[in-house]
Amino acid sequence: MSYRVIGIVVLAAILAAVPSIASEYWVALLTQVLIFGLLALSADLLLGHAGLFSLCHAAFFAVSAYTVAILQTRYGVTTIPAAVAGLVAGTLLAAVFASAVRTRGVYFILITLAFGYIVWGVAHRWASFTGGDNGVTNVPPPSLGGLQIVTKAHYYYFVLVVLAICLLGYRILTTSPFGLALRGIKSSESRMRSLGYRVGAHLYVAFIISGFYASLAGVLYIYYNRFVNPVAAGFPISVEAILMAIIGGTGTILGPFIGSGIILVLRNWVSGFFHYYTAVLGLIFIATVLWAPNGVMGLIRSWRSGNRGEGA
């Protein structure tokens, strides 16, 4: 327990120090890692806790980002109401897509995949509203009550603070009776039903909460990126979010962020000299499935319990 507290303090100190010790490039990359880590975490609420493999999380992410971008650039709405509208839009969409919880297994994957494509198709084709392939550009930097967040370092700190609050909420959610029920459903749905749980209702609500977290990632993304195009709604983003969670370790808080770090650093580094970045990603994924099915966090856990075993 105290190790955990020390770990959190050390991690917070390191994260807070990054802008003063690293270049702007790394600060920007780390911001991106945190934002996509949050997206991965949102998908992992379903995968790691409830056992549902969703392939449509880019949809909530993108709808929320588009909502903010359009409201700000076209209607002059200020940051806070635009961000709230983005969260509401993404979460409402999740409430509709949550109907996928009527299905399980491969059907769930396919339905969420189809849902994701619908949103991508709209972003891509409805050019008069979404700007088509060009998307929406020139989103102004966020401003909170007269305070503009312009520099990369300031935005990084802003993301850190928002994340800290979110992760605390996520932690409480996953240890609450509701979160425990999700893990129960993942383990044995039939037992949960006979214990009195309306399994569908629990999964439905979990899906909406997960969509809310993905929407929040979308809001953080649009103010980081300052433009959005259909790539944000694309299938590769949904897949990467899931891969990040699996590579880092599902069912944990840190895992999706570790996965996000691995994938984004690799993409920025490998794609500089090697054209087949996605092939490398594929190999990493295969290696994870074969040798570290519980991801990096699983490796750390087994390494720690192994050490303890030898010590005893």
Out of 33, 87, 136, 192, name the contact with another protein by CB under 8 A: 192
102 lines the binding site for another protein (CB under 8 A): no
Burial of residue 30 (CB within 10 Å: 0-12, 13-18, 19+) is buried
Give the binding-site size for another protein (rule: CB under 8 A): 25
Q: Which is nearer to another protein, 26 or 53 (CB)?
A: 53
Residue 175 touches another protein, criterion: CB under 8 A: yes
Distance between CA atoms of residues 293 and 94, nearest Å: 29
Residue in the structure block whose two tokens are 């992992």: 44
Which candidate, 159, 129, 142, places its Cα nearest to that of 39? 159
Is 132 or 184 the residue whose CB approaches another protein more closely?
A: 184
| 184 belongs to the binding site for another protein (CB under 8 A) | yes
Which residue has 């998908």 as its token pair? 43
CB 78 within 8 A of CB 147: no
Question: Whose Cβ is closer to another protein: residue 125's or residue 191's?
Answer: 191
Q: Which of residues 193-222 bind another protein (CB under 8 A)?
A: 193-199, 205
Residue 292, both tokens: 């570290």
The CB-of-194 to another protein minimum distance in angstroms stands at 6
For the chain, the C-alpha Rg in angstroms (whole number) is: 19
Enumerate residues 7-36 that contact another protein by CB under 8 A: none
**Which is closer to another protein, CB of 96 or CB of 180?**
180
Shortest Å, Cβ 265 to another protein: 31
Distance of CA 302 to the CA centre of its chain: 25
Q: Are 135 and 221 in contact (CB under 8 A)?
A: no
User: Where in 113-132 is the site for another protein (CB under 8 A)?
Assistant: none
Among 177, 272, 309, 311, binds another protein (CB under 8 A): 177
C-alpha–C-alpha distance, residues 148 and 80, integer Å = 12
Write out the H or E segment, with its range, that includes residue 192.
helix 189-194
Q: Which of 181, 208, 214, 232 binds another protein (CB under 8 A)?
A: 181
* Residue in this structure with the two tokens 């002059």, named with its chain if needed: 76
User: Is 146 a binder of another protein (CB under 8 A)?
Assistant: no
Report the residue from 99, 148, 176, 278 that binds another protein according to the rule CB under 8 A.
176
Q: Counting contacts by CB under 8 A, is residue 178 touching another protein? A: yes
Q: How far apart are CA 170 and CA 19, in angstroms?
A: 26
DSSP summary character for residue 30 = H
Cβ at position 75, least distance to another protein in Å: 34
End-to-end Cα distance, the chain = 19
Q: Which stretch binds another protein (CB under 8 A): 14-22, 157-165, 187-195, 294-302?
A: 187-195
The answer to the question of residue 53 lying near another protein (CB under 8 A) is: no
Q: Give the range of 185-193, 257-265, 266-274, 275-283 binding another protein by CB under 8 A.
A: 185-193
Amino acid at 81: P
Largest CA distance in the chain: 67
Residues that bind another protein (CB under 8 A): 172-173, 175-181, 183-184, 186-188, 190-199, 205
